[in-house]
Amino acid sequence: MPPRSPNAVTLRDVSRVFGRSYALHRVSTTLAAGSITALLGNNGAGKSTLLNILATVDAPSDGEVRFGKVAFRDFARRGRARIGWVSHQTLVYDELTGRENLTFFGQLYGIPHIQKLAETWLERVGLSAAADRPVGTYSRGMKQRLTIARALLHDPQLVLLDEPATGLDQAGTALVSNLLGELRKEGRIVVIISHNFSLIETLADNVLILRKGQLRASGPLPPGTSLISHYQAHA
C-alpha cells in the first residue's frame, strides 16, 4: 500500500489577524501521521480559527503552513479531497435521508460503488435502521453520527473534528473513540477539538493548549498529570 499523503502538517509562526486583534499569534507545531492531536482552549482562544486554516477554508495572515511538502495555497487548490471535516454544523441536508446524504457526497467525490460504501458506513455508525428516514427526523446524536460518516466517507488523510461527541450518548461516544483509534492505526493525521476531557485523555497523543491565540502548551500529556490540571495550568 503506498504511503498516505500528507505525512505531516507543519505550522511555522502562523498568525491570523481579524481587524486589529490576533485570533492566532505565531503558532508553530507539527501534526504527525498516525497521531491524534487535541486542540484545547477557552472560548475565543483561536481553536476554530486554527481548524479552519487546517481545513484551508481560511488562510493565515502570516507564517507558513505545509501539508507534507505542499504549500498551503497549492493544497487548498488540489489537496482538499484529502480533508475530512466534522464542523460544529452538521453539514448534511435535513430533507434528504441518511443514505441519500452519503450517496450525494460520495458521488461528488467520485467514489465508485458508493451505494455499497454508504451502506457500510451507515452500519458502522449504527444508522442502518434509520437510513431511509429524512435527516430532519433524526435526533442530534443521530445527525452527529451521520456527520462523522460523511466526513470519513472519502477516506481522508487529514481528519479535523470540532466537538465530534456533541449530542452523542455513551454508545455514540464509544463509537467515536473506536473510530479515532482506527484512524490513528491507519496512519491518518487527526485533530480534535473537544470539551469531553475523558475522551481526550484516553485518546490524544498530543495536546495543544491555546490561550488568546497563543500556543501555551504543546506535546504529550506529562506523565502523572491529569488533563484537567494540565489544562488549568495553561489555558
Partner 1 sequence: MKTALILRQSRTILAKDLRREWRTREILTTTVAFSVLLMAVFTFAFYRSGDATAGVFPGILWISIVFSGTLAIGRSFQHETASGCLRALALIPGSQVSLYIGKLAANLIFMLLFELALIPLLLLAFSVNLGPTWALHLGSVLIGTLGFATLGTLVSAMLVKNDLREVLLPVLLYPLLIPLLIAGVKISAALLAGQGWPQIEGWLKAMIAMDLAYGVLCVLLFRFVLAAVE
Of 43-51, 108-116, 167-175, 194-202, the segment contacting partner 1 by CB under 8 A is: 108-116
Residue 104 as a binder of partner 1 (CB under 8 A): the answer is yes
- Taking the least distance from each CB to partner 1, the nearer of 92 and 209 is 92
Smallest gap, in angstroms, from Cβ of residue 209 to partner 1? 26
Cell 452527529: give the residue. 144
Q: Is the Cβ–Cβ distance between 53 and 59 less than 8 Å?
A: yes
Distance between CA atoms of 173 and 166, rounded to whole angstroms? 9
Distance between CA atoms of 175 and 197, rounded to whole angstroms? 16
Smallest gap, in angstroms, from Cβ of residue 95 to partner 1? 5
Residue 155 as a binder of partner 1 (CB under 8 A): the answer is no
- Taking the least distance from each CB to partner 1, the nearer of 110 and 224 is 110
Q: Is the Cβ–Cβ distance between 189 and 35 less than 8 Å?
A: yes
Long-range pairs for 91-94: beta carbons < 8 A, 24 or more residues apart: 91/147, 91/150, 91/151, 92/135, 92/143, 92/146, 92/147, 92/150, 93/135, 94/134, 94/135, 94/136
Smallest gap, in angstroms, from Cβ of residue 163 to partner 1? 13
- Taking the least distance from each CB to partner 1, the nearer of 151 and 199 is 151
- Taking the least distance from each CB to partner 1, the nearer of 151 and 165 is 151
Of 7-15, 77-85, 171-179, 216-224, the segment contacting partner 1 by CB under 8 A is: 77-85
Residue 132 as a binder of partner 1 (CB under 8 A): the answer is no
Cα distance between the two ends of the chain: 41
Of the candidate residues 22, 75, 105, 231, the single one contacting partner 1 (CB under 8 A)? 105
Identity of the amino acid at 95? E
Distance between CA atoms of 110 and 112, rounded to whole angstroms? 6
Of 55-63, 67-75, 167-175, 223-231, the segment contacting partner 1 by CB under 8 A is: 55-63
- Taking the least distance from each CB to partner 1, the nearer of 88 and 229 is 88
Smallest gap, in angstroms, from Cβ of residue 207 to partner 1? 26
Smallest gap, in angstroms, from Cβ of residue 28 to partner 1? 25
Distance between CA atoms of 106 and 33, rounded to whole angstroms? 24
Helix (H) or strand (E) holding 21: strand 21-32
Cell 435502521: give the residue. 129
Of the candidate residues 23, 36, 45, 55, the single one contacting partner 1 (CB under 8 A)? 55
Query: Where along the sequence are the contacts to partner 1 (CB under 8 A)?
Result: 55-57, 78, 80-81, 83, 85, 87, 89-96, 100, 104-105, 107-110, 134, 150
